[in-house]
Structure 1
Amino acid sequence: MSDRSRILRGSARAVTGLLVVAVAATAAVLLGNTVLPGVTSEPQPLVVDTTHDANRTLVCAGAFGVLGADPDRPGATIPIGAPEVVVSGTASSAVSVTRPEGGEGLPAALTAPMAEPLAAAQLQSVQTENLRGVVGSACAEPVNEQWLLGGASSLGVSTTLSLANPGTVPATVVVSVFDENGPVDDLQMASVLVPAGSEQTVSVNGYAPDRARLAVRVVSTGAPVTASLGVGHSLGIDPFAISSVTRQTAPDTQLVIPAIANESDHEHGPSDSGEGDEFPVLLRALAPGDAGGQVRAHAIDAAGTRTDLGIIDLVPGAVGELSIAVWPQGAHALVIDSDVPVIASALGSATKRSHHDNEWFVPAPAIAADTPTAAPVVSGGQLVLANTGEAPAKVEVTAASGKGKPRTLTVAPGSAETVPAPADAVVTSSEPVHAGVRFLQGGDLAGYPVLAPDPRDGELTVFTR
């Protein structure tokens, strides 16, 4: 091939290469500015049931602890006696939880498959030189964050916090206290180590002395825990009352407190609004967020009568209080509506002759519709059902053991009523209802909520592509 031919052929190849590059570049520009049809698929939610072969554990607090019962250790909390524990459902295992002071009436951890209804509660009568009364509480599932509202650390009142860890690893618990003025100084927050399989009790009076109102936030890491308050009240050297406080898992804008009672065989005394109860019901609430709000409270009875009780204007982080001069005759539940999420509790009282007692009643979570829910009823207790919805709730009450005949009833919208029930009651309702149990005999009063499992527990939502 001549030199001229080679030059011409090389030039042709170069020109062809340049044309290919130019065409490719032009195509890239055009494609980059052109919206091409695409195939998109929205993620599809798939709800997975994680309860298969899963268990849930409930912890009963054990014997009531008396602060200062040992004169040589005034700061120690000494358990007194042993409670009666009632179980609805069948526990696959039951083990004791240890505590430093030992003694009888140890806390108990009950375990059962998550798919099986299980609940438990305890009741204890206490009689010492300085304290008397009856306390009741629901056995609760360990969680990593919870709230308690009730009690005080003023003259004559002692409040203790019990923390139980039924797990296999230690839990580190941070305790934050709130009072009538706001959060207690961070320097006074407590960090408590709760070893695996044990319960620790601390004095709230020691962290926040001379407070008229108390609320406690409990946050644990390492392992979930259960928390409860014990409150002892004496007048001078005379016993006055004891009570317990069951935990709340989260603030909400509507709360229902079933089973409240306030009775006295003494004559009513004067109040700011005229004639009133000897010991008025006290409603307390806390808005733990950054914003304050208004809490509106009303009572409901079996006939569906609504009685407005009053309003609390809440400052964020401070425990507010409403004194209810007269508790409505026949009312069985207190309903709270709030502008912001709150926690709340209500103090009811019982007086007969020289005996007096009180109890901090707390909100009960809703029992989901068409979901059999265990509702243990202690000996002498009354089951109370509250329906705050707009439709009648058709309720069936059976025994977990299968004994006896089922009882059916209808709870009208906006009403609350007492319901005969066996000790191992199981409640199934066509509409969401709230349930609690109260014990009222003479000058003794106790109560606790039915802690229905969260219907979202055991469900995991997975988004597929």
Structure 2
Amino acid sequence: MLEDENPPRRTEPPRRTEPPRRTDPPRRTEPPRRTEPPRRTGSRRRGTAAGILSALVLVAAGGGLAYAASLSPQNPASRQLEPPLAAVPAGSSTGVCPGPARLLEGTPVGTDPQFGPESASAKTSVNAIVLGSRAGVLPGSRLAPLTGSPLVELAPAAAAAVPAAPPAPAAGPPVLLAGVVSQREVDAVSVLRADAQENLQAAAGAVLNYTAGDGDLRGSAAAACQQPANDLWLAGANTALGRTAVLNLSNASGTPATVSLDLFGAKGPIQAPGSRGLLVGPGSTRSVILAGLAPGQERLSVRVRSAGGPVAAVIQQSVLRGLTPGGIDFIAPGTAPATRQVVTGVDIQDPAGLAALTAKPGFADAGPALQLTVPGPADAVVQIKLYGRDGQKALPGGGVVTAKSGAVTEVSLAGVPAGPYTVSASSDVSFTAAARVTRGLKSEDASDVAFPAAAARLGSQHVIPVPRTGDRYLVFGAPDGRARISYTPVTADGKIRTGAAADIAGGTTASIKVPAEVEGSPLVGYLVSAAGEAAYGAVLLEQDGGQDISTIAVAPGATGQEQVPVTLGY
């Protein structure tokens, strides 16, 4: 009976395939079943064949799904979402004003200049305006040097950070109030700072004005105090004999700035040792004599790029013809390269007198001109149009020029009737533009020069301070179509007076004389807004009976809360 019972138990298939025994750990790890060669070989072959077959099925299925998805309409819920936008609080407003014009001592070699004293009659002053909120509260604001205690405090910072009471919607009109700095004399680089208020950047602006009636730097120079940036373009410099160009770099931030300069001359890019890696420490100014980097250049444009802290850049350009002063001005940055550039505030003298003056040796740069810089690798065919008080004026050369790539091309603006103009230049290749205007028609007398740069179109609520002295003009141009300009005076007592408006016909330039006083108080500036077609503006400064001339660009308006895309990841 033992022989009849044992064989069925050993060979009984149900016991081998019984689920409980298959999952029993001892039976699953039984060495004979794991190491049996026939079963291992068969299992590997079957697994490989099954894997290949599964991969082919998946590929075919994936291709079918992709084809079907391309034919079926996309559900909006299945589309790729754009990165979300996060609100960034408005920052403070910062305007860096150049220091006084200084006379170089010794031979201008290298990039570490020494300055001599100014003339006995030289004066340098800052005028500034900071607008208050609709509730009549001024933001925390002050005018101060790069380092040190404030020169003028318009409002303490605590007033902006912790207001006495939240501004409630008022039934009446808003309270119009401005903080004003009027004719504050300075002897170094200064900074106007205004804190953000109600999550909006403060509307503020400042301008520096230099005048001298004697010395080699005789004349006038003015510039709007500029918002620091990491990429700036300046055009109009000259390092030829008798011309001095000093680039001043100011860092008003708390972060060191490493600056690199790209130089463009009349014949192309200039590779200059020492133009890279210029360190500008926090709260400091570094001066670079451009003749040490690019000597003998009658036309020179400079691109300033900063890594780290943003910087403000301005070129002090002066002319000396023998012993006769030929002018002084601050060359401020213009708009970045674009296919269209507009320059306004181009005031041209009598064409006959200019022709006689510029024909004399050494006076070729005593006439008005437009300088075009093409930084890219392709030449630019530029069409130039000139718009005056009564419409477009034709240039003697036809108005179409070819500007060489990597170089600075100069186009004479002489030969048109005297008066203020707006210059519009366009091409299919990006370029920068700046003009040169002069004052003075006698070679034996001192003359002056100014360099208005291309600017952006006007928007709403530009703060435009103006110096207190001299003849002052608001110059507006509308090259494309009719525009309406509103301008509201701001007086020295901080009051915002009744405004006015001007309708400017398309293709014309308008000039508005700035009065000395409004309602018994000295005028210190304007609030300007534009509507309609694109309009451009500048401030033109002259001296009654003198040869002084300078221009001031209109600074961009204040910005509110911005939004930036945010991507989550690692």
Provide TM-score, normalisation by structure 1.
0.85
Please give the residue correspondences for 1:61-140 in structure 2 after superposition, counting only pairs within 5 Å. 61-68=98-105, 75-78=113-116, 80=118, 81-90=122-131, 92-97=141-146, 105-112=187-194, 113=196, 115-140=201-226
Cα deviation, residue 162, structure 1: 0.5
Q: Using the TM superposition, name which of 199-208 and 411-420 deviates more.
A: 411-420
Q: Structure 1 290/403 Cα, relative in aligned 2: closer, same or farther at 3 Å?
A: same
1:187/1:202 CA distance change after superposition, 3 Å? closer
| Partner secondary structure for residue 216 of structure 2 | coil
Aligned identity (percent) is 23
Give the match's secondary structure for 1:64. coil
Alignment partner, residue 443 of structure 1: 547
Q: Identify the match of residue 411 of structure 1 among 487, 499, 504.
A: 504
Q: 2:13 aligns with which of 6, 14, 32?
A: 6
SS at 2:237 equivalent = coil
Extract unaligned runs of 5+ from structure 1.
none
**1:43 counterpart (81, 100, 121):** 81
Instruction: Report how far residue 286 of structure 1 moved.
Output: 0.7
Q: Quick check: 1:437–1:448 contact (8 Å CA) kept in 2?
A: yes
Distance 1:461 1:300, change over 3 A: farther
> 2: CA distance between counterparts of 1:79 and 1:174?
29
- Separation of aligned partners in 2, 1:119 and 1:460: 26
Q: Which residue of 1 aligns with 2:270?
A: 184
Q: Indicate the residue corresponding to 2:179 in structure 1.
A: none
Is contact 2:335-2:456 (8 Å) kept?
no
Give the aligned residue type for 1:434.
Y
- Provide the rounded CA distance (Å) in 2 between the counterparts of 1:320 and 1:404: 44
Matched, 1:55 2:92: yes
- Supply the distance in 2 between the matched residues of 1:419 and 1:398 (Cα, whole angstroms): 13
What SS does structure 1 have at the residue aligned with 2:391? coil
1:303 aligns with 2:386: no
**1:366-418 Cα deviation digits (max 9, x unpaired):** 223xx22212222332111122333x222221135443211112122222212
Residue number in structure 2 paired with 1:423: 524
RMSD: 3.7
Q: For 1:363, give the aligned amino acid.
A: A
Equivalent of 1:342 in 413, 431, 453: 431
The equivalent residue for 1:228 is 314
Matches for 1:217-256 after TM superposition, within 5 Å: 217-256=303-342
Partner of 1:434 in structure 2? 536
Distance in 1, Cα, partners of 2:345 & 2:84: 39
Amino acid at match of 2:371: R
Comparing 283-292 and 372-381, the one that deviates more = 372-381
Residue 291 of structure 2 corresponds to 205
SS at match of 1:361: coil
Q: Mapping of 1:270-289 within 5 angstroms?
A: 279-289=366-376
Give the 3 Å change call, closer, same or farther, for CA 434–457 of structure 1 in structure 2. farther
Match of 1:34 among 64, 77, 99: 64
Alpha-carbon deviation of 1:78? 4.1
- Between stretches 329-338 and 161-170, larger displacement belongs to 329-338
Q: Secondary structure at the match of 1:327?
A: coil
CA distance in 1, matches of 2:332, 2:101: 13
Shift of 1:48: 5.1
Taking a change above 3 Å as real, the CA distance of residues 238 and 271 of structure 1, as seen in their structure-2 partners, is closer
* Counterpart contact for 1:294–1:311, Cα < 8 Å: yes
What amino acid sits opposite 2:347 in the alignment? A
In the TM superposition, residue 330 of structure 1 has moved relative to its aligned partner by: 3.3
Q: Counterpart of 1:32 in structure 2: which amino acid?
A: G
Contact 1:96 1:106 in 2 (8 A): yes
Structure having the higher Rg = 2
Q: Which of the two has greater strand per residue?
A: 1
2:412 corresponds to which of 320, 323, 332 = 323
Question: 3-state DSSP class of the match of 2:292?
Answer: helix
Tell me the distance in 2 between the aligned counterparts of 1:262 and 1:60. 27
Q: How many residues align?
A: 451
The alpha carbon displacement at 1:218 in A equals 1.0
Deviation string 1:279-329 (CA, Å, 9 cap, x unpaired) is 431111110112221222221123333434623322211111112232333
Aligned to 1:377: 466
- Give the secondary-structure state (helix, strand or coil) at the position aligned to 1:32: helix
Q: Unpaired runs of 5+ in structure 2?
A: 1-7, 23-38, 40-45, 132-139, 149-184, 515-522
